[in-house]
Amino acid sequence: NFNPASIFMGNSGSYLLGYALAVFSIQTPTHADPIVSVMIVLVILGLPVLDTAYSFLRRFLNGTSPFTADSDHVHHRLVRRYSHRTAVVIMYAVGALLGTAGVVMAGSEFNVAVTVFAAVIFAGIVGLRLLGYVPLAFRRLVVPEKSSSLNGTREALSPTSNGHARRPRPRFGARMRSLESSSQT
């Protein structure tokens, strides 16, 4: 489904696809060990699970509602770096590799399946780093205040391109509490 797209799923199609994947994941025993069965499902559905989980966590830590839309998903970052066709091919390749890893896990012993799962987790972390996702608490814990001995490290690691730190936004829960208190008065 390369650009210009010929297939448009819409809400109904995406709900049906999500439901079918959920039912398939629950109904299909893939391994004698139930822990490995769960790991296989997580590996096969790794790309959408990782993208959704990271989006929710990123929005929550930024103080916005986890349900607000943004343009910081994996495919958005790929399209910013590559052409649309290349981004689609990368997503297809990652999906195929994750599917292959799931099939390998299904036919393997417990130790091999856990090793493949760990390798997929490691590859996911490397992939997030390559796409420019910063570890979640990195900016708050590692970036020191300005110091002459660091020689511009803070500016190089700053979350903005112009070297100025962003003004911190209040947490989502804090905004909700302030809205509740203002409505009670």
> What is the number of domains present in the chain?
1
Non-local (6+) Cβ contacts of 7 within 8 A are 1
Does residue 103 sit within a domain?
yes
d(CA 133, CA 57): 12
Q: Is the pLDDT of residue 159 over 60?
A: no
Does residue 56 sit within a domain?
yes
What's the domain range around 18? Answer: 10-132
Span 118-131, mean pLDDT? 88
Does residue 173 sit within a domain?
no
Amino acid identity for residue 13 in this structure: G
pTM for the full predicted model: 0.65
Does residue 112 sit within a domain?
yes
Does residue 5 sit within a domain?
no
Does residue 126 sit within a domain?
yes
Does residue 161 sit within a domain?
no
* Comparison of pLDDT for 117 and 136, the residue scoring more: 117
Question: Is the peptide bond between 4 and the residue preceding it cis, with omega within 30 degrees of 0?
Answer: yes
Does residue 147 sit within a domain?
no
At 82-93, the pLDDT tens digits run 888 898 899 999
Helical packing angle, 74-81 and 46-61, nearest 10°: 100
Top mean pLDDT of 104-108, 139-143, 148-152 is at 104-108
